[in-house]
Amino acid sequence: MTAMDGAKSPVSDRAPVPGPPTPGAAAAGPDSAYLNRELSWLDFNARVLALAEDPARPLLERAKFLAIFNQNLDEFFQVRVSAIRQQVEAGLRAPSPDGLDAAEVLAAVRAQAAELVERQTRVFTKEVAPALEDVGIRFSNWHDLDDDDRAHLVRVFEEQVFPVLTPLAVDPAHPFPYISSLSLSLAVLVHDPDTGEQRFARVKVPPLLPRFVVMPDGERFVPLEQVIAAHLDALFPGMQVLDHHPFRVTRDADYELEDEAEDLLEAMEDVVRRRTKFGPVVRLEVDTTMSEEVLDLLCRELELSRRDVYVVDGPLDLSGLWALYALPRPELKDDPWVPQTPPALAGVERGGEIFRVLEAGDVLVHHPYDSFATTVETFIDRAARDPQVLAIKQTLYRTAGPESKIVGSLIRAAEAGKQVVVLVELKARFDEQANIERARRLEEAGVHVVYGFVGLKTHTKVVLVVRQEPGGVRRYCHVGTGNYNPRTADIYEDLGILSADPELGADIAELFNHLTGYSHQTRYRKLLVAPAGVRRGILARIGAQARPGGRIVMKMNALVDPPIIDALYEASQAGAEIDLVVRGICCLRPGVPGLSERIRVRSIVGRFLEHSRIFRFGDDPATAEYLVGSADLMPRNLDRRVEALAPVEDPRLRARLDEILAVNLADDVLAWELAADGVWHKVPTVEGVDTHRRLQALALQRTQAGRAQDART
């Protein structure tokens, strides 16, 4: 793909073939102390693309990573690129911390995005598609099919496709139609033999139908747009079809609530409606067959410049490859992983009481290595069923659909007369409609539902259970790094602490009072809570390590915040050794003499999406401070979200965190390292340490050791 100017773990022991370096972040220039946020994100998506380029990875996993890459890029254009374009159009020239202004960032983003999608198209057309054909999964073109195959597709078209198609003409009586974001369409030119005029029409490829039509042999797949294109005569009877071209539009989805909104639920519904109907177009994707005449028409009607047009030398929208990944071909996928039940909770799984376990000590759960069902879901389910439980309070940011066991447990608890309070974050981008529906379902069951604050997103992941016991009321809680969603718990790497610690429980109770009432609580016994306390607490801990012998290890999704980056630079210059494991965006430039030579940055990208946040301050495990929670080190998390970090004080749990960090820092299979020039490089494989495989093995070892201990006792 090229931008036109002016005119989302291998199964073998082979190490992945290193992908090319990702040079985007270096565009900020070697003199800048910061790397550009947007270009750093593109570098992350390049690391995702490298997984699809890895020939050691199972074929359907490679196809899956092509689909994830496509979805990631779609969201990036909908949210980030749209925001940059708005700055450019508003004439804002103030540079970001890296020194680039909005126009420079937009130009660099366009160039790097074009290069990445060219790589994506190449790996699909030259590697993945031919390799899939070798194992009986073939992408077929209409023109390559025989008469029997075409007869089958004619029946499919007449019975399933034709009834839902709506051709939309463009002429003086029919204005250019609204084209929804991320929808695939056909631009059609027709000739009217009666008038001699040439007309333009748009046919939308129905998004509710499968992206590929499966042939009767179950091995061949024909793109749906080709099936429609072969039957355009049926859509325009009496007209001569001159030409047709696929295209795809991406619209701005970065709508925010008005600060003066009084009813958050109604305001959020309006945001969802506006995003669906009114967002300006920020990207147009076309294939190489499109004529200049049609391209000019689309650019004019969509109000785009040619710089916003991307020409793809292959099929549009490879997110449709998810349909292939659903095929029952286990030999072409990663070996399945069965999450384990932590030994501490094995008795609970067999009917024991979870509250007695937590009285004996905190429990750390590490998904997807530890089961979400037998840990977090069981904790909430037992609380809902326990007659001694008086109240359950929980935040929900993103969770599963109507079948959610957690939502079912909360409803059951409310129906049983318990006080149930749920903060549903309506502003979780792209989950707004689902969260609106979930909130209404909870309200109908008698749950007290609150929606947080207009100006802040509630991103923290906490549960509080209040239980009447012989000695009085006792609080039990869960603090996590990930969403209460069983689907993502199988593929996102996340941590959670289950605890009966009285001070931690009191903090979470006060946090809920802040979220549901008029409390202005800003200081807590143990929690660090944003927007008031997380940056302050992290900066204080970095400062305490700014000395010879200081030690900082932090694992997170993104590092963007300039004050925290500056503090890390100062700690490095003062003699501290710093290791950062940053999955995605990193604006810190490591290894620069006199600035950051004691800072090392790496990224783990593989089968599971690294999502946990772990912060360790200090060299001695006995005295070091450990924090886990929901917050990344970005201005939005620290200033515009409610986040919480909890200390980990139990030596057993601290040892587990050290184990996780040590594996991440030893990885030489999935790891990439960031150099001082802003370029990411694949770490050479020497020892063969794969974070995901190693943590799977450790989870199995714990399970086996627990069973052996049970057998002895």
pLDDT in tens, 511-559: 999 888 766 777 899 999 999 899 999 999 999 999 999 999 999 999 9
Ranges of each domain in the chain: 15-134, 141-304, 343-516, 528-712
**Cα separation, 451 vs 448, whole angstroms:** 10
Radius of gyration of the chain (CA): 27
Q: Which helix (H) or strand (E) holds 693?
A: helix 691-712
Residue with tokens 């999704």: 557
User: Tokens in use for 665?
Assistant: 């820092």
In 3D space, the residue among 468, 475, 617 whose CA is nearest the CA of residue 551 turns out to be 617
Neighbours of 402 (CB within 10 A): 10
Q: Is 394 exposed, middle or buried (0-12, 13-18, 19+ CB in 10 A)?
A: buried
Q: Name the residues annotated as catalytic.
A: 459
Q: How far is CA 411 from CA 30, 175, 449, 509, 595, in A?
A: 56, 48, 11, 21, 54
Strand partners, 644: 529
User: In the numeric block, which tokens belong to residue 118?
Assistant: 């060219």
**Top-tier CATH class for 15-134:** mainly alpha
Compute how many other C-beta atoms are within 10 angstroms of the C-beta atom of residue 14.
Answer: 14
Q: Report d(CA 578, CA 475) in Å as an integer.
A: 36
Q: Do domains 343-516 and 528-712 have the same CATH topology?
A: yes
Sheet bearing 220-223, strands edge to edge:
138-139, 220-223, 212-214
Angstrom distance (rounded) from CA 668 to CA 683: 6
The amino acid at residue 361 is G
Helices 102-123 and 37-53: crossing angle, nearest 10°? 0
- Paired residues of 139 in beta bridges: 221
How far apart are alpha carbons 466 and 473 in whole angstroms? 7
Cα distance between residue 561 and residue 584, in whole Å: 14
Q: What is the pLDDT of residue 402?
A: 62
Residues contacting residue 69 through CB under 8 Å, at least 6 positions apart: 8, 45, 48, 49, 52, 116, 120, 318
- Residue 519: per-residue pLDDT: 66
- Distance in angstroms (rounded) separating the CA atoms of residues 10 and 5: 39
CATH for 141-304 is 3.30.1840.10
DSSP one-letter code for 267: H
Any idea which residue has 């609204």 for tokens? 178
Domain 528-712 has CATH 3.30.870.10: yes
- Ranges of the chain whose pLDDT falls below 50: 1-19, 23, 25-27, 257-262, 268, 271, 275-276
What pTM value is reported for the model? Answer: 0.90
Strand partners, 361: none
For residue 370, what is the DSSP state? Answer: B
**Token couple for 693:** 């495989």
Query: Cβ distance 112 to 301 under 8 Å?
Result: no
User: Residue type at 178?
Assistant: Y
How many angstroms separate the CA atoms of 613 and 555, rounded? 5
Residue type, 145: L
Topology classification of domain 343-516? Endonuclease; Chain A (3.30.870)
Q: Give me 710's structure tokens.
A: 């049970």
Q: Are 556 and 529 in contact (CB under 8 A)?
A: no
Q: Assess contact for 669 and 689: CB atoms under 8 A.
A: yes
Strand partners, 194: none
